[in-house]
Chains A and B, each alone.
Chain A
Amino acid sequence: MPEKTAATAVSAETEAGATAPDDAPAAVTAKPEKARSLWSDAWGDLRRNPLFLISAGLILVLLAISAFPGLFTSASPRDADLANHYLQHPNWGHFFAPDWFGYDGQGRSIYARVIYGARASIMVGVGVTALVTIIGTIIGMAAGYFGGLTDSLLSRVTDIFMGIPFLLGALVVLTGFENRSIWVVILALVFLGWTVIARVARGAVINIKQADYVVAAKALGASTSRILLRHVLPNALAPIIVVATIALGGYIAAEATLSFLGVGLAEPTVSWGVDVSSGREQLRNAPHVLIIPSVMVSITVLAFLMFGDAVRNALDPKLR
């Protein structure tokens, strides 16, 4: 494997004329530049996209909150003080104070619950996406690359799972569990969600396996695993990443929905979905109990959707 130094590529620009008279330096794209991989090109695009900057900023904040909720509030999400704070309304001026968003029907600080609830949502979103991507990519790649019977078999299985309505399926699966920890919810969503990625991966791989560079690798005598890992996977990754980031928001929404319906997470787990669910009882006299966690879900989902959209534009400039 050749040594990689960015410096050589830069100096190549200046010396090109001397060493290779047939190839004038003007030939290569623009300015003195480093080796520009397609990924770094995409990154260059992203950095200049305000949509990306806003959504990435939001996501970073959300990640920080879910990693270190204690840094953002001194109150505990489980401390209930019914006597003093029953359904107390928000105090919009009290930034970051426990009463900023008011209190819920058990006298718990909604601000603290929103902060601590982020972890459940982010964990479900990230966890489901990671697992779904791994499983879907493996299945989709196998189906797309090997074709024939393997493809028929795997594609039919994918179709069967796809035929199950996502939310209804999750509802049925989760009803079967007594103790629904966050992992149970994640696995239930993965069980029903991998098909989307599998389909995308299969389509991408079918295109890629016909490309001449794959044929060239075969002609060199490359092993199947080498072709899959060095040639097929890196090129199939872009569409998979795009679909995965966009789906992430959907999984967060799904968790909230399931928790609201009472089959997802449940007390004492702190989660936005759980809070939305408990907020509906007092909707008339204390709408903030329901609205604030709902808004958090919406903002999070929106952030990931925007993020996914920006990534798509960067990775697939043809769509623009």
Chain B
Amino acid sequence: MTIIETTADVPAPRGDRQHEGPLLEVRDLHVEFHTRDGVTKAVNGVNYSVSAGETLAVLGESGSGKSVTAQAVMGILDMPPGRIPKGEILFRGQDMLRMSAEERRALRGRKIAMIFQDALSSLNPVLSVGYQLGEMFRVHEGLSKKEAKAKAIELMDKVKIPAAAARVGDYPHQFSGGMRQRIMIAMALALEPDLIIADEPTTALDVTVQAQVMDLLAELQAEYNMGLILITHDLGVVADVADRIAVMYAGRIVETAPVHELYQRPAHPYTRGLLDSIPRLDQKGEELYAIKGLPPNLTRIPTGCAFNPRCPKAGDVCRTDVPALHQVTEQDGTELPGRGSACHFWKETIHG
């Protein structure tokens, strides 16, 4: 049985570009928090990688560790109570965890940028949007006030904010939710980073606006040939934009797959359960499939496979052995590129 150490090659990402290895590679990352109730093990050995022009979706429910991983990559974890006991975060081959604070700050914003869920609280309410956008250029590139403002208008045009020149002096609360999220995207784009991490970028938005924002993000990503890590709990949003998906549960990646295959043939019972438990728009079902039980308490993660108390397939081995991320193969043994499943019974799940 092959075990995938780091996620395998990318199947046909968008756009053509020179291949130069992954942009970002997370290796065996562990994050824990020390709290009153004990040690919360938020991330327990995560591996993933993103290349330029590729969209990796990290899918998980609350407490799965998807956002904590991203915060660790950005270097914005609160430490303490957070701690990274183990792991590497390689950006273009350099371990960011070993860099000085100064070096990391230089990467942040310039090379890696982040978009948050709540645009209103991420923007400074007392500064105009144009000023905040222009700040990036004044601080990082030493442009004059006038040049910075021109750049800000250019960016607002880029993210399709109507009448950008007229609205550059407006304050965040004067924009609607969708427009604020566009401003967040503009800020992330300002210095043309190589990688964007978007943490639930459309969760707070209405469906009709959600679609606009996701389209914009995909379009800009293709234009700048950026890597994009999309963190979400929404299987629908992921299906629309991702190239590859990593499903997280209790701080580990339980399945990785190219987007089409994950939906067609999930190789982990958790993924299958998630897919079955969402109601369909195009048909009225009877009772919904529901994954029984609740997500685990991260201070007391079950032994063996963390999903075993909720899993319909769980056997004795699941209660004792932590499953590694196995390479998923066809029935005849041909490897399915980019597919992995951390389940002892992945064969039965995908082929059974």
A and B touch in the complex (CB under 8 A): yes
Are B292 and A26 in contact, with the CB atoms below 8 A?
no
Number of interface residues of B (CB under 8 A): 14
Does A281 interact with chain B (Cβ within 8 Å)? no
Cβ-closest chain B residue relative to A45: B36
A26 and B292 CA atoms in complex are apart in Å by: 13
- Measured CB to CB, the nearest residue on chain B to A320 is B81
**What sequence of 0s and 1s flags, for each residue 4-34 of chain A, a beta carbon within 8 Å of any chain B beta carbon?**
0000000000000000011110111110000
The listed residue (A21, A30, A44) touching B297 by CB distance below 8 A is A30
The contact string, 1 if C-beta is below 8 Å from chain A, for chain B 108-134, is 000000000000000000000000000
Contact of A24 among B37, B294, B299 (CB under 8 A): B294
Q: Which residue of B lies closest to A29 (CB)?
A: B37
For A, the interface residue count at a CB cutoff of 8 angstroms equals 11
Contact call B36/A27, Cβ cutoff below 8 A:
no
Inter-subunit contact A22/B293 (CB<8 Å): yes
Asked if A26 and B294 sit within 8 Å, CB to CB, the answer is yes
Q: Are A30 and B292 in contact (CB under 8 A)?
A: no
Contact pattern, B 284-327, Cβ under 8 Å of A = 1, otherwise 0: 00000010111011011010000001100000000000000000
Q: Which of B1-57 contact A (CB under 8 A)?
A: 36-38
Residue of A nearest to B293 (CB): A24
- Asked whether A30 and B309 contact (CB < 8 A) given A21-B292, A22-B293, A24-B293, the answer is no
Q: Nearest Cβ in chain A — how far from B287, in angstroms?
A: 14
The listed residue with most B CB atoms (<10 A of its CB), out of A23, A26, A29, A44, is A26
Say yes or no: B310 contacts A24, CB within 8 Å: yes
| A186 CA to B132 CA, complexed, in Å | 53
CA distance A45 to B36 in the complex (A): 9
Are A22 and B37 in touch, CB under 8 angstroms?
no
Contacts of B292 in A (CB 8 A): 21-22, 24
A26 touches B300 (CB 8 A): yes
Task: List, in ascending order, chain B residues with CB within 8 A of A23's CB.
Answer: 293-294
- In the complex, what distance in Å separates the CA atom of A23 from the CA atom of B297? 12
Closest partner residue, chain A, to B291 (CB atom) = A22
| In contact, B299 and A27 (Cβ under 8 angstroms) | no
> In the complex, are the beta carbons of A30 and B37 less than 8 A apart?
yes
C-alpha gap A24/B294 in the complex (Å): 6
Task: For residue A12, give the distance in angstroms from its CB to the closest CB of chain B.
Answer: 15
Name the residue on A nearest B310 (C-beta): A24
Task: Please tell me if the beta carbons of B293 and A30 are within 8 angstroms of each other in the complex.
Answer: no
Task: List A contacts of B300 (CB < 8 A).
Answer: 26, 30
CB of A60, distance to nearest CB on chain B (Å) = 26
Besides the known contacts A23-B294, A44-B36, 18 further A-B residue pairs in the complex with CB atoms under 8 A apart: A22-B290, A22-B292, A22-B293, A24-B292, A24-B293, A24-B294, A24-B310, A26-B293, A26-B294, A26-B296, A27-B293, A27-B294, A29-B37, A30-B37, A30-B38, A30-B299, A30-B300, A45-B36
A residues sitting closer than 8 Å to B (CB atoms) are 21-24, 26-30, 44-45
Binding site for A on B (CB under 8 A): 36-38, 290, 292-294, 296-297, 299-300, 302, 309-310
Can you report 9 residue pairs joining A to B where beta carbons are below 8 Å apart?
A: A22-B290, A24-B293, A26-B293, A26-B300, A26-B302, A28-B297, A30-B38, A30-B297, A44-B36
